């Protein structure tokens, strides 16, 4: 087992080496400038996401598509992912994670726009879209679309399923002393109940679950930050300083270089908000919307809430409480921070993580079944759903290092073909944005996306 952990760790370091960091962050920055700082429309986008209108053709409402994507993104990345980044890269990782989110808003907008524009219908009359269809229909590179779909179908077992189940089973065991296999069995059963119904069933549950889970977790963070308000200025100073100078060993923390802070901050930023990964656009493609630009604005709010707000709050909690100095990693590190709220702190964290995990497993189940559908047709979807349920149980009893390394490797492999399509089709992005956003025609119908 140790040998496997070492091999996966080395592969993860190769995938997430300097070339990948440059490609990902470079794409974020390039699209930000190419789209004239699309981030400035974030509040308009938030208003759109909360407005119910006659939305056009699609399988679910624009809000349902957003909450499904949010369900998949707001998860262990916000709790365990941030803690892992800080535990391995030091407080400076929080800065790089946050920067990845700010610039990643442009990438999330871009990939959602293209996925809606190039979506199609499957044999059952349902919407089918995502980077695999963008690569095939937009770039005429089906082979690259096949690779993306293959990486997605495999990566989902890591980022969307086993990582999630592993995190909550460990937390429940630490908080309530419940064996991991029992937690895994419960997660597997409830996952199966929902995903069998497909996107409409998933979206219906996510519309109810996402607001609840966000409120519970954010409230806990705000209470801790209020209790440690005096430490906030020094925490911000530590984060900024270690982001550019590294962090020496302190307490139980082993120390980290600037490269480590960047590597873990960017990697966990991608894991959390999925901007550039190409997953969230799969849900966007199912949305009822008059044009691709409108839904792209709605979808980009996901990265704002996930990373710019929630991940940053988690980072502040870990640093202001001094928990990062313990040398702990993952869920145990965040649990230590939440213990600053007597009695109910760990319980609040566990409830928040439980809902985060469950919703993420649901959202990623849809992403992956669409990838499998692209590869093998609609008949392969149901068997894959059952494999997904089994993986949720297996992930509950796996070891953390193996699960996270596996997720990192395939996240990176997914991102590469998606980022290629975003750069190659940037002219289409500009043209669509100009036509519907910059010229003030967000409610106009685009018959080509039906």
List residues bridging with 120 in a β-sheet. 128
Token pair 């030091």: residue? 90
Residue 256, SS3 per DSSP: strand
- Predicted confidence (pLDDT) at residue 53 exceeds the cutoff of 80: no
* Residue 251: closest CA among 320, 334, 316, 323: 323
DSSP H or E run through 50: none
State the pLDDT at residue 272: 75
Residue 22 CB neighbours (<10 A): 10
Residue 169 DSSP SS3: helix
Name, of 73-87, 207-221, 286-300, 387-401, the range with top average pLDDT: 286-300
Which run of H or E residues covers position 120?
Answer: strand 120-121
405 or 144, higher pLDDT: 144
Q: Are 118 and 134 in contact (CB under 8 A)?
A: yes
- pLDDT bin (cut points 50, 70, 90) of residue 267 is confident
pLDDT in tens, 231-242: 999 999 999 999
Q: What pLDDT is attached to residue 400?
A: 58
Residue 210 has pLDDT above 60, yes or no: yes
Average pLDDT, the chain: 85
Where along the chain do its domains lie? 2-440
Mean pLDDT of 261-267: 82
DSSP states along 281-335: HHHHTTB--SSHHHHHHHHHHHHIIIIIIIIHHHHHHHHHTTGGGG---HHHHHH
199: which strand partners? none
Please state which of the four CATH numbers 1.20.1740, 3.40.50, 1.10.10, 1.10.3470 is assigned to the domain occupying 2-440.
1.20.1740
CA 372 to chain centre: 20
| pLDDT tens digit sequence for 298-324 | 899 989 988 888 889 999 999 999 888
**How long, in residues, is the chain?**
450
Torsion angle, CA of 297/299/300/304, rounded to 10 degrees? 130
Are the C-beta atoms of 67 and 317 separated by less than 8 Å? Answer: no
Q: What is the pTM of this model?
A: 0.87
365-389 confidence digits (pLDDT tens): 888 999 999 999 989 999 999 999 9
Instruction: State the Cα–Cα distance between residues 108 and 306, nearest whole angstrom.
Output: 12
């Amino acid at each position: 087992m140790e040998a496997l952990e070492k091999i996966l760790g080395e592969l993860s370091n190769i995938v997430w080496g300097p070339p990948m960091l440059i490609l990902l962050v470079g794409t974020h920055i390039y699209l930000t400038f190419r789209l004239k700082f699309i981030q400035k429309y974030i509040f308009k986008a938030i208003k759109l996401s909360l407005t119910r209108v006659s939305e056009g053709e699609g399988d679910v409402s624009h809000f349902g598509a957003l909450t499904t994507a949010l369900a998949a993104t707001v998860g262990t990345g916000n709790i365990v992912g941030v803690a892992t980044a800080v535990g391995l890269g030091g407080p400076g990782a929080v800065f790089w994670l946050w920067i990845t989110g700010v610039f990643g808003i442009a990438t999330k907008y871009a990939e959602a726009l293209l996925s809606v524009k190039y979506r199609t219908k499957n044999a059952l009359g349902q919407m089918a879209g995502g980077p695999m269809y963008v690569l095939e229909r937009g770039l005429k590179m089906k082979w690259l679309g096949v690779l993306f779909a293959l990486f997605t179908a495999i990566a989902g077992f890591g980022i969307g399923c086993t990582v999630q189940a592993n995190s909550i089973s460990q937390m429940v065991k630490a908080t309530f002393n419940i064996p991991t296999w029992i937690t895994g069995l419960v997660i597997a059963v409830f996952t199966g109940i929902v995903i069998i119904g497909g996107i409409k069933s998933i979206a219906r549950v996510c519309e109810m679950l996402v607001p609840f889970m966000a409120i519970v977790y954010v409230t806990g963070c705000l209470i801790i930050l209020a209790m440690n308000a005096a430490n906030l200025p020094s925490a911000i100073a530590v984060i900024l300083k270690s982001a550019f100078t590294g962090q020496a060993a302190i307490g139980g923390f082993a120390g980290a270089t600037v490269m480590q802070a960047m590597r873990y901050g960017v990697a966990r930023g991608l894991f959390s908000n999925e901007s550039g990964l190409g997953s969230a656009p799969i849900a966007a493609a199912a949305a009822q919307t008059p044009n691709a630009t409108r839904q792209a604005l709605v979808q980009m709010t996901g990265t704002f809430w996930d990373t710019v707000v929630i991940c940053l709050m988690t980072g502040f909690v870990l640093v202001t409480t001094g928990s990062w100095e313990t040398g702990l990693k993952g869920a145990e590190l965040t649990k230590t921070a939440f213990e600053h709220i007597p009695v109910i702190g760990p319980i609040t964290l566990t409830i928040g993580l439980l809902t985060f995990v469950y919703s993420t497993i649901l959202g990623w189940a849809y992403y992956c079944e669409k990838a499998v559908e692209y590869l093998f047709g609609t008949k392969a979807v149901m068997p894959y759903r059952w494999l997904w349920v089994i993986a949720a149980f297996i992930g509950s009893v796996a070891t953390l290092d193996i699960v996270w390394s596996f997720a990192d490797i395939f996240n990176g492999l997914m991102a590469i073909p998606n980022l290629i399509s975003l750069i190659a089709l940037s002219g289409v992005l500009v043209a669509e944005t100009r036509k519907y956003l910059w010229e003030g025609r967000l409610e106009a119908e685009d018959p080509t996306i039906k």
